[in-house]
């Protein structure tokens, strides 16, 4: 076995505030409201009392990679021991794009999640209970693994460097992005460790076991990991390859075509997931409308084809042992635009954007930047209260201010048309305030750009 290279580890146990006792490690930065340092009894650690950093909802901590000498610029592992007090719906754990993207690590209804690509099959996380959480990414294979309490829960290939820090080079803990609200929980963290390499599954398991003995000690040494039968010097990707090599695979091939004219669809992303979960096990670009995967037999997979301008299509396959090649076909239907893709709410007699409308427009901006093959029409509406002509003018103002907001975010003005209809196209009755509220809106419609 070759000699393992020296590793860099930054440890934060909050016994000295946000400083690390690791050499050259920078201090963590506060996000949102400044938290509190508490001595907390941790039942999960045999009722030991530890210093923890308690944070409010949508607040947390930040690691600056440039200050940390680019520890996270290649392969890395993030280890955290923390609790979240609320777990309904989405609750942010790690944000790699400094609040500019919805993608990243969450706890979703108690399950591990990397939005919008993978979700764990079970819910190992409970509110107000500490968990040992590990996230690793291999720079060569793009393989991501997520663990809870030493056990692997989610594994997938990073589809587009979503777990790579952007140009701002910061990793945010617990504070959510600016796109959707209420996706962060108050809680507390007792330990954060950052490694400049991928930790093996055995190493992660030993780190969890050692944590229970003394949270403030160093992670297991290379010698200790080697004594367990899996040296730390062996990369996670190598273990995965060796394990899979023992199991004969079956070749699954397929073709994707347009159901309207039977032409092959050229630009297609094909994803493979196990049927009992959302974790991506394989991903590829179809070449000339064709794809090919090597999959383990006797498991059921969901293969999904995604192509711009078409509705997503999924099929199920179960390769059989020694059954030879599995051939599949997928017919895609062109997208229909027969309903609004977004509806923006407005207040009575007001053309200014509500917070809900701004949030919807922020989400819409990302979609519009991705879908350059579409143009958009913003249709303004009002209820029937007040003068008819003034309502026509008000509805046009609402559509215009929504368009201007999109343009300020970088959307080309010639891709967005506006029209005001006043009270002439109500969604609901105008007989009560509850139903009138539904009529005060701007609808966003999409339409393919004719080439």
pLDDT, tens digit, for every residue of 178-207? 777 778 999 999 999 999 889 888 888 878
Virtual torsion, Cα 168, 170, 171, 176, nearest 10 deg: -60
Residue 363 CA, distance from chain mean position: 14
**Residue range 241-252: average pLDDT?**
60
User: For residue range 94-121, what is the model confidence (pLDDT) as tens digits?
Assistant: 999 999 888 899 998 888 999 878 888 7
Radius of gyration of the chain (CA): 26
CA neighbor of 244 nearest in space, from 192, 191, 282, 301:
282
| Strand 48-55 to 151-157 pairing | unpaired
Kindly report which listed range (37-46, 123-132, 428-437) carries the lowest average pLDDT score: 37-46
Q: How far apart are CA 125 and CA 138, in angstroms?
A: 25
Q: Structure pTM?
A: 0.52
Q: How far apart are CA 353 and CA 351, in angstroms?
A: 7
Q: How far apart are CA 111 and CA 57, in angstroms?
A: 19
pLDDT band at 435 (very low <50, low <70, confident <90, very high): very high
| Strand 104-108 to 151-157 pairing | unpaired
* 219 pLDDT higher than 60: no
Per-residue pLDDT at 149:
86
Per-residue pLDDT at 115:
87
* 223 pLDDT higher than 70: no
Strand residues in 203-286 grouped as ranges (E): 250-258, 269-274, 280-285
Cβ distance 302 to 273 under 8 Å?
A: yes
pLDDT band at 26 (very low <50, low <70, confident <90, very high): very high
Q: How far apart are CA 221 and CA 210, in angstroms?
A: 11
Q: How far apart are CA 423 and CA 268, in angstroms?
A: 42
Measured in residues, the chain has a length of 451
* Beta pairing partners, 44: none
Selected residue with higher pLDDT from 262 and 240? 262
Structure tokens at 412: 């080309």
User: For residue range 283-318, what is the model confidence (pLDDT) as tens digits?
Assistant: 778 888 899 888 888 889 989 988 888 888 899 999
Per-residue pLDDT at 245:
44
Residue 152 CA, distance from chain mean position: 18
pLDDT band at 212 (very low <50, low <70, confident <90, very high): low
């Amino acid at each position: 076995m070759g000699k393992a290279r020296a590793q860099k580890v930054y440890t934060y146990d909050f016994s000295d505030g946000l400083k690390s006792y690791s050499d050259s490690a920078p201090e963590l930065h506060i996000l949102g409201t400044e938290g509190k340092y508490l001595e907390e009894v941790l039942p999960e650690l045999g009722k030991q009392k530890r210093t923890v950093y308690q944070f409010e909802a949508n607040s947390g901590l930040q690691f600056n990679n440039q200050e940390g000498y680019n520890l996270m610029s290649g392969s890395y592992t993030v280890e955290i021991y923390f609790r979240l007090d609320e777990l309904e719906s989405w609750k942010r754990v790690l944000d790699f794009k400094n609040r500019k993207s919805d993608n990243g690590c969450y706890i979703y209804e108690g399950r591990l999640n990397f939005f919008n690509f993978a979700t764990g099959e079970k819910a190992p996380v409970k509110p107000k209970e500490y968990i040992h959480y590990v996230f690793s990414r291999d720079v060569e294979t793009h393989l991501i693994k997520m663990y809870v309490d030493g056990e692997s829960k989610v594994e997938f290939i990073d589809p587009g460097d979503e777990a790579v820090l952007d140009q701002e080079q910061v990793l945010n803990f617990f504070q959510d992005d600016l796109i959707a609200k209420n996706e962060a929980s108050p809680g507390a963290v007792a330990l954060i460790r950052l490694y400049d390499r991928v930790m093996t599954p055995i190493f992660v398991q030993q780190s969890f076991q050692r944590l229970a003995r003394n949270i403030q000690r160093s992670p297991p040494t290379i010698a200790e990991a080697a004594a367990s039968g899996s040296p730390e010097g062996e990369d996670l990707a190598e273990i995965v390859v060796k394990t899979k090599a023992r199991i004969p695979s079956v070749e699954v091939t397929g073709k994707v075509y347009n159901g309207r004219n039977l032409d092959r669809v050229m630009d297609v992303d094909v994803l493979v997931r196990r049927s009992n979960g959302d974790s991506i096990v394989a991903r590829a670009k179809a070449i000339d409308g064709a794809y090919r995967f090597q999959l383990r037999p006797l498991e059921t997979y969901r293969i999904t084809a995604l192509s711009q301008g078409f509705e997503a299509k999924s099929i199920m396959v179960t390769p059989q042992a020694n059954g030879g090649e599995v051939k599949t076909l997928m017919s895609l239907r062109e997208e229909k635009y027969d309903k609004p893709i977004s509806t923006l709410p407005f207040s009575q007699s007001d053309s200014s954007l509500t917070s809900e409308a701004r949030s919807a427009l922020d989400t819409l901006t990302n979609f519009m930047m991705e879908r350059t093959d579409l143009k958009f029409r913003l249709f303004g509406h009002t209820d029937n209260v007040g003068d008819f002509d003034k309502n026509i003018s008000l509805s046009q103002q609402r559509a215009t201010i929504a368009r201007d907001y999109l343009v300020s975010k970088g959307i080309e003005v010639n891709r967005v048309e506006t029209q005001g209809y006043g009270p002439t196209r109500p969604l609901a009755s105008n007989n009560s305030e509850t139903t009138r509220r539904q009529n005060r809106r701007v609808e966003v419609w999409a339409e393919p750009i004719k080439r």
